[in-house]
Amino acid sequence: MKLLLGVPALAVAVYVFAATLPEAPTGFDNKTNGMVDDATHAADQERFDEVEGVTEGLGPLYNAQSCRECHQNPTSGGASQISELRVGHRGPGGKFQNPEISIARGTEIIKARSLVNDRAICPNSAFPSAEIQERVPDSEKIRTFRVSVSLLGDGFVEAVPDQTFVDLAREQCQNSHHKICGQVLYVPIVEAPGQTGVGRFGWKDQHASLLSFSADAYLNEMGVTSRLQPDEVTALCNTAPEPNDKTDADGLSDVDRFARFMRATEAPPRDAQLAVTPKARQGAELFNKVGCDQCHVQTLTTAPAGTQVNGGTVTISAALAEKQFHPYGDFLLHDVGTGDGVVQSMTEHYGKRMYQISWKNLSIRDYESTANKMRTAPLWGVRMRSRLMHDGASVTLLEAILRHRGEAARVTRKFERLKSSEKEALLEFLRSL
Ligand code: HEC
Ligand code: HEC
């Protein structure tokens, strides 16, 4: 279909090339994709699953005690129903502003983050009068939930060269006559000061590196500081020495192990029984025919072995190199009419010290233009999700599709015009992913 519509020769060449590359391994069986041995992977997973307590540095403000608590379905690294809360308001010129949340009876103001932590370790027996629970002030009229996502197979996503996303955005925009133009966002690689990469992780593409994401999540979801995120959100009722995350006998700290765990995961597998049914196959064709695949791109390929990514801090190993995988996503930011108005906070994601460094290609203006955009949700493993879209507010696949407006409006209209048996086939295809 696409070929008939005159996709440039380069895209055809890439497609043919991709078809000859080996497939990334898939499975919900806790096995490694080959980047490390199974014993190492199991040990890394133990850290990812580990429940942290106050003495290990949990909090003072936090959302949950372990990575697995939010990334679990159907196995460690998957998604879950748990959502987090983000708020803010519009300031001068209509720009998004982070909230100022007062804690400890107004004696401290938490600033520069849109995340509102749902839990706190105090009051407790050591600090019986420390009232540090965050609550949303009435002034914060922009509110959204962000549901947890799966990170299985993300090592392959990290191994896609930046240029692939830049080319994808350009071709998509040309082929759709400027109706669908995904945004590439350059984001800091926290472990490579000054270096940036094309953001691909999180609902807003706020990270390009799984190590950067690990340190961000450890601090903001669990309150655990690390060498990459050494500053606590508040010093109140905090006792564990910084950074909380210490190096072990192997010279690795928890954030290194989380990153290695994620990099070594297999990609989500299809439902093999459903995938081969005539109905799901018809649905796959219709998915492309109505144009869902313009954003939900079926196949991406990883860089050759030895390629350096993440500002030169990671060298792509043979297990991840030159594989094709099927995320059904372009990892670009789009306005599909669901935008929550939130611009990701620099300090929250890259640390209080990020302003001491000048970052290549970093553009505050580009960040601001993302307020009403979301990353195309990759649809691999979508059958394991009970709540859909960034806010988890769509509970059926049909509702999620019908919410697509903005850049996706024409595609949604085409979907709406399908016969009901065709719509059902397309949904069956999604249930096989
Ligand atoms: C309280 C729930 C919660 C906990 C605990 C949590 N996460 Fe997450 N995680 C989320 C949510 C929600 C998102 C989407 C966030 C967003 O983009 O705003 C996410 C996104 C991610 C992503 C992006 C994946 C992708 O493909 O986009 C990675 C990687 C990740 N988390 C790693 C971790 C690690 C490592 C830990 C433990 C240190 C952790 N998370 C702990 C809720 C959680
Ligand atoms: C212009 C790009 C674009 C097009 C075209 C598009 N989508 Fe999406 N899709 C997105 C974005 C962006 C999101 C995330 C939106 C959000 O969370 O608010 C999304 C989310 C979804 C989700 C929710 C997945 C989850 O994990 O929550 C489903 C299902 C989905 N799309 C299916 C489709 C289908 C089917 C079509 C074709 C009829 C389609 N999309 C067309 C960009 C697109």
Structure confidence by residue, pLDDT tens digits, 299-343: 999 999 999 999 999 999 999 999 999 999 999 999 999 999 999
List pLDDT tens digits, range 257-285.
999 999 999 999 999 999 999 999 999 99
- Ligand 1, atom nearest to 146 Cα: 12
Q: What is the mean pLDDT of residues 84-93?
A: 96
Residues 147 and 153: their CA atoms lie apart, in Å, by 18
Q: Which ligand is nearest to the CA of 415?
A: 2
Say if ligand 1 is within 6 A of residue 224 CB.
no
Residues 223 and 433: their CA atoms lie apart, in Å, by 34
Residues 216 and 227: their CA atoms lie apart, in Å, by 11
Cα–Cα distance list, 334 to 77, 90, 185, 339, 375 (Å): 25, 21, 11, 9, 6
Which of left, alpha, beta for 234 (phi over 0: left; psi -120 to 50: alpha)?
beta
Q: What is the mean pLDDT of residues 87-104?
A: 97
pTM of the predicted model over 0.75: yes
**Residues paired with 314 in a beta bridge:** 309
Distance 238 CA to ligand 2 centre (A): 41
Q: What is the mean pLDDT of residues 68-96?
A: 97
Q: What is the mean pLDDT of residues 165-187?
A: 98
List pLDDT tens digits, range 278-292.
999 999 999 999 999
**pLDDT band with cut points at 50, 70 and 90 for residue 4:** very low
Say if ligand 2 is within 6 A of residue 204 CB.
no
Q: What is the mean pLDDT of residues 162-184?
A: 98
Q: What is the mean pLDDT of residues 148-155?
A: 98
Distance 265 CA to ligand 2 centre (A): 24
**pLDDT band with cut points at 50, 70 and 90 for residue 16:** very low
Say if ligand 2 is within 6 A of residue 370 CB.
no
Cα–Cα distance list, 388 to 109, 201, 222, 223 (Å): 33, 17, 24, 27
pLDDT of residue 18: 56
**Roughly what angle, to the nearest 10 degrees, separates helices 278-290 and 409-416?**
140
Contacts of 215 (CB under 8 A, 6+ apart): 190, 191, 226, 227, 228, 229, 255
pLDDT of residue 19: 61
**pLDDT band with cut points at 50, 70 and 90 for residue 217:** very high
Distance 377 CA to ligand 2 centre (A): 6
DSSP-derived 3-state class of residue 107: coil
Distance 130 CA to ligand 1 centre (A): 28
Contacts of 121 (CB under 8 A, 6+ apart): 54, 58, 59, 60, 62, 223, 237
Distance 217 CA to ligand 1 centre (A): 6
Say if ligand 1 is within 6 A of residue 228 CB.
no
Which residue's entry shows tokens 């922009």?
142
pLDDT at 10 over 50: no
Residues 6 and 4: their CA atoms lie apart, in Å, by 5
- Ligand 1, atom nearest to 48 Cα: 37
Q: Which ligand is nearest to the CA of 61?
A: 1
pLDDT of residue 6: 40
Q: What is the mean pLDDT of residues 154-175?
A: 98
pLDDT at 353 over 60: yes
Atom 21 (ligand 2) nearest CA = 377
AA identity, residue 153: G
pLDDT at 5 over 70: no
Distance 298 CA to ligand 1 centre (A): 23
Atom 9 (ligand 1) nearest CA = 148
First to last CA, the chain: 22
Pocket residue to mutate for ligand 1, from 70, 82, 214, 263, most atoms within 8 A of Cβ: 70
Atom 22 (ligand 1) nearest CA = 202
Distance 49 CA to ligand 2 centre (A): 30
Distance 149 CA to ligand 1 centre (A): 7
**pLDDT band with cut points at 50, 70 and 90 for residue 66:** very high
Q: Where are the alpha helices (DSSP H) in 351-408?
A: 364-368, 397-403
CB count within 10 Å of CB 297 equals: 20
pLDDT of residue 20: 87
Residues 415 and 293: their CA atoms lie apart, in Å, by 12
Instruction: Tell me the pLDDT of the chain averaged across its residues.
Output: 95
Residues 381 and 75: their CA atoms lie apart, in Å, by 12
Say if ligand 2 is within 6 A of residue 286 CB.
no
Q: What is the mean pLDDT of residues 175-201?
A: 98
